[in-house]
Structure 1
Amino acid sequence: MRSPYFPARSVLFRKEPNGVTYRVPALLYLSHSRSFLAFCEERLSPSDSQAHLLVMRKGTFYRNYVEWDDICVLGTAFLPGHRSMNPCPVYDEFTGTLFLFFIAVLGHTSESYQLVTGKNVTRLCYISSTDGGDTWSPITDLTKRVIGDTIKEWATFALGPGHGIQLKSGRLLVPAYTYHIDCKECFGQLCQTTPHAFCFHSDTHGRTWCFGEAVPGPQTVECQMVSVDEEDGTNVLYCNARSPLGYRVQALSLDDGAVFQEGQLVQRLVEPRNGCHGSIVGFPAPLHLHQSRNSHLEPPAHSSRHWTPCMAFHDRLAFTRSAASTVSTSSRSSSIAASPNPNVTPVPPSPLSPRHNAPPDFLTPTWVLYSHPTLSTARKDLGVFLSLFPRDPDSWRGPWVIYEGPSAYSDLAYLELSPSPGAPPAVAFACLFECGATTAYDEICFSIFTLYEVIDNLPQDVELGMNGEGCKRQNQVSEAGLSCSGDAQSAPAFQQGRKKLTEMCSAS
């Protein structure tokens, strides 16, 4: 049995001696500028009622590391007399406008007080940027214009937290949830509310906004969404939400978030007591990766305290097709500790991406990665899970634990790593997550890892033997983004997809 392997990480936000705590991470990757934007709440203490302002760090992604700027307070993301919470960034690829949505809550009013009294004191707000987060607009309060009188039916509401998405149509989606008032008066007090996930959306590139119907049930709270393309050409909006029922809830929309179908419990994705926020990100199955755009940034010519070279990245990219299915024992058994420089995040080595010569009648499906604490008893041991068929609640495989210890909220981003100029890009992910040695709220860390690392580190519960010889096509399967692991009996869809892609690899 091999030792656990953890991706390298950098601490971006750390609890201060005076008690100031950073919580609720949100992450966005801007591919055109090769930059990361890491947002979170600055709180006077870990308590929700002590939230204060939103802060940000911007990271420039070079080929072998990420260089991070210092913490920046988002001064315009503030409504007087309110505290700013639940950052939710979404980027419009068509206009180049970055929206940072958040909620503004009156004073130190707690969520529980709003639920008990039915007095909603939460506002829907955003700021925007047209230069990649370098400067920001004044605050816009959308509450009256977008929610209107419906606010009277909500005991409270919130966003995400974490990233929003843009659909191919251009529609912008901001995930949200509300506690709907089911019984307004019961012996003089509000007696019943039910949480429901939904989304705000804009078809006018952010000029106007509205919201769709909520997930009918079961109870859904903090959520994120993914647009899922399928091989037959259909598309669904997939919602994955926190729930107090012991498991995650997933729900589908066939009209881009206007109406959601009844949700399903995902019994492969457990929740700790009262649940915890999790993140999902969709990405095209690695069969049709485009040629590298050769838009590589060169590292700065001068040294500074904000960056240091972290590894001989290009030397460690000398993978061949046959080597792509194996990882050396030493790399598997080495648990990589936090980066010694807090302003630098190392980038992992990665094999070349899989071949992309699939048959022309094969439409690229969307796969989904999910991050969340893996224990049902505590917010601990953050892990990632993979689904090749997200509509199937039994298709999830994992976890690969990427951080051992107290951990909580996280946010994922999808990106492509370029092994060398002109080479096909490799699928990779970034994760911004809460963690710590003693509590889950000591730090917010950042890691980058590849799809190959995910596949290689998923639990190998059952080896899928072929005539007793194991995985004969392990090289091809690994390159297609699949592993020789998993319970084939309980997940026929996963096994069917594995078989199909394996055959495609072997025939090409």
Structure 2
Amino acid sequence: MNSQDQSGSDREISISYQINCPNCEKLQTPSEKLPRHLCRSQVYGDEDKDKDKDEVKVQSLPTADICTAPRLLGRTCLNRRTMSDAASSATGERVRTTVFQQERNTSITYRIPSLLRLPEGGTLLAFAEKRATARDTDALWLAMRRGQVSNDSIQWSPMEELQDATLKCHRAMNPCPVYEKDSRTLFLFFICVPKGVTEGEQLQKGKNAAKLCYIKSADGGRSWSSVTDLTDSVIGEKVKAWATFAVGPGHGIQTASGKLIIPAYAYHIGSSVQPHPHAFYFYSSDSGETWHIGDTVDMWSCECVMAEVVDQEKKGHVYCNARNQSGHRVEALGHSHDTGFSKSALALKLVEQNGGCQGTVIGFPAPKSYLEKHSNADSLTWLLFSHPTDEGSRRNLGVYLNKRPLQGSNWEEPWIINRGPSGYSDLVYCEDKELFVCLMECGEKSEVEQIASVCFSLSDVLEATGKKAETQ
């Protein structure tokens, strides 16, 4: 509503407020100046209003609206919904909730989102790199927030900083969690790189400086083990042929047979002038007791993510989707019982910006109604992929659906879930709620301004792409 007074004046008025929120710190401000129309139209709750006075006192704000006042006052609330929510809803985009926020008064930035859902209780774990600035070399350590999905929204708990999840004089980068269901063990993989050492420096010298590390938890991430460095025991002498390497970023998977898979890539030193990256994965066949290196994708392939696709005979196939500089993503397919990929190709419907960008993919069960209607379908799994859709820059994050992942690149047109600057992302599927959650870098002027979450259903995707009738 328009709450301007009858004179049409936008005089400043004083507002005092206190926010009582179970999900973020209590904020108090004795007096702040706001334009009258913003106070009247945007601040809700138990108000002591007097139309003839220039003061509005807000004693409390309900949880659903806690983010409005701090936003208007130039403060940060990590559970707030963005000011563009109404516009997003009108255009079919999803309402997004800030999970990690760039700090306005400092250069602290959060990048490289990673998302995992615990089977027991359905808790979401969101990870990111905390950085002194947006630059890769200024990464500090990893941060985490726990979330609970309620209907189509998420309540996020306060941020936890995993400052011990690194090696001395190193920075932690590229979070990549995986959950081992039998032992109920959560592994958080990442790389540790000496402070100040850049990826470009490693590529130029042809000498790797990264370390393969993980921490693990037996209580869903409430407490963690000390850091385990696997570099020597798992990679060994092979690291001498790598200029550098990294895991993910994103999430790992556990296949139906129990194999744990951590996506990775390495820049191989060869006869060419510059090292070339190739995607592969680290894997464990004994619940994470020992780890090994799988075979590489033959094409130029960088940051990657994996999903398992199950065919009609209940056999598993490992699908790899990787970053590339050719203008299109790289796809590769292998068997879950093997460690390599039998074929790879460019995904011509999945565009890459200049230099490429990380993207993510999630596998989920095809709807029963679809399988009943298409009895000859070769796959029991559908794939959902998220990535910026603009060909020229990191903008307009979209999700792509693939109903036939075993028949080559069968991606449908994307549905844009975030317009504007968009970067790295990760996805999970909440099967019991039939909801997807996307954790993505986004902002108004730059994609590094925040990491936000959005929820949507398969029906939302099908309606947006006009394909809903095919599942009925």
TM-score (normalizing by structure 1): 0.72
Picking from 384, 396, 401, the partner of 1:386 is 401
Q: Provide the C-alpha distance between the structure 2 equivalents of 1:366 and 1:55, rounded to a whole number of angstroms.
A: 32
SS at match of 2:468: coil
- Partner of 1:221 in structure 2? 302
Pair 1:183–1:41, CA change in 2 (3 A) = same
Matched, 1:437 2:444: yes
1:315 aligns with none
CA separation in 2, counterparts of 1:111 and 1:404? 30
Structure 2 counterparts to residues 90-489 of structure 1, below 5 A: 90-183=178-271, 191-217=273-299, 219-256=300-337, 258-287=339-368, 365-418=380-433, 427-458=434-465, 460=466, 482-483=467-468
Structure that is richer in strand per residue: 2
The alpha-carbon deviation at position 3 of structure 1 amounts to: 6.0
Distance 2:458 2:381 in 1: 14
- Structure 2 length as normaliser, TM-score? 0.78
User: Using the alignment, how far apart are the partners of 2:173 and 2:337 within structure 1?
Assistant: 26
Q: Tell me what 1:336 maps to.
A: none
Work out whether residues 31 and 415 of structure 1, in 8 Å CA contact, stay in contact via their aligned partners in 2: no
SS at match of 1:90: strand
- Find the counterpart in structure 2 of residue 7 from structure 1: 94
1:24-103 equivalences under 5 Å are 24-63=112-151, 65-103=153-191
Give me the whole-angstrom Cα distance separating, in 2, the residues matched to 1:247 and 1:361: 30
| Deviation of the 1:76 alpha carbon | 2.4
The residue that corresponds to 1:347 in the other structure is none
Distance, in Å, in 1 between the alignment partners of 2:420 and 2:308 is 32
Deviation at 1:390, TM superposition (A): 1.4
Alignment CA distance shift 1:386-1:360 (3 Å) = closer
Rounded to whole Å, the distance in 2 between the matches of 1:221 and 1:139 is 25
**Residues 198 and 257 in structure 1, CA contact (< 8 A), matched pair in contact too:** no
1:428 CA displacement: 1.6
CA deviation vs aligned residue, 1:269-295 (integer Å, no higher than 9, x gap): 0000000000000001011xxxxxxxx
Q: Which has the higher contact order (CA 8 A, sep 6+)?
A: 1
Instruction: Determine helix, strand or coil for the equivalent of 2:275.
Output: strand
Which AA in structure 1 matches 2:363? G
Name the CA distance, whole Å, in 1 between partners of 2:320 and 2:167.
30
Give secondary structure in 2 for the equivalent of 1:410: strand
Structure 2 residue identity aligned to 1:483: K
Partners in 1 of 2:395 and 2:246 — Cα distance?
24
1:170 is displaced (CA, Å) by 0.8
- Which one-letter code corresponds to 1:45 in the other structure? T
Take 1:386 and 1:365, find their aligned partners in 2: how far apart are those partners? 14
Structure 1 unpaired stretches of 5+: 185-190, 288-353, 419-426, 461-481, 485-497
Amino acid at match of 2:444: A
Who wins on radius of gyration, i.e. which is larger?
Answer: 2
Equivalent residue pairs, number: 383
Whole-angstrom distance in 2 between the partners of 1:417 and 1:234: 23
In the TM superposition, what is the alpha-carbon distance from 1:378 to its structure 2 partner? 0.1
Provide Cα deviations, 1:19-72, integer angstroms capped at 9, x if missing partner: 010000000011311210000000111111111100000112334642211110
Change (3 A) 1:56 1:3: closer
Task: Render the CA deviation track for 1:122-163: whole Å, top value 9, x for unaligned.
Answer: 000000011111111100000000000000000000011011
Structure 1 position 233, deviation (Å): 3.9
Cα distance in 2, alignment partners of residues 365 and 388 from structure 1: 9
C-alpha spacing 1:417/1:212, structure 2 compared with 1 (3 Å) = closer
Distance 1:260 1:145 in 2: 24
Counterpart for residue 329 of structure 1: none
Provide the C-alpha distance between the structure 2 equivalents of 1:19 and 1:257, rounded to a whole number of angstroms. Answer: 45
The CA deviation at 1:216 is: 1.1
Contact 1:24–1:86, Cα closer than 8 Å, also in 2: yes
Report SS of the residue matched to 2:155: strand
Q: Give the distance between the partners of 1:79 and 1:408, measured in 2 at CA.
A: 28
SS in 2 for 1:200: strand
**Separation in 2, partners of 1:5, 1:358:** 28
User: CA-to-partner distance for each residue in 1:454-475, whole Å, 9 max, x for gaps?
Assistant: 11112x5xxxxxxxxxxxxxxx
Q: CA deviation at 1:266?
A: 0.5
> What CA distance in whole angstroms lies between the structure 2 residues aligned with 1:417 and 1:402?
22
Alpha-carbon RMSD across the aligned residues, in angstroms, is 2.1
Structure 1, 374-383 or 253-262: larger mean CA deviation: 253-262
Paired letter, 2:348: Q
Question: 1:441, 1:227 → 2: CA distance?
Answer: 30
Mapped partners of 1:397, 1:264: distance in 2: 17
How far, CA to CA, are the matches of 1:388 and 1:6 in structure 2? 22
Amino acid paired to 2:226: P
Give the whole-Å Cα distance in 1 for the aligned partners of 2:378 and 2:302: 33
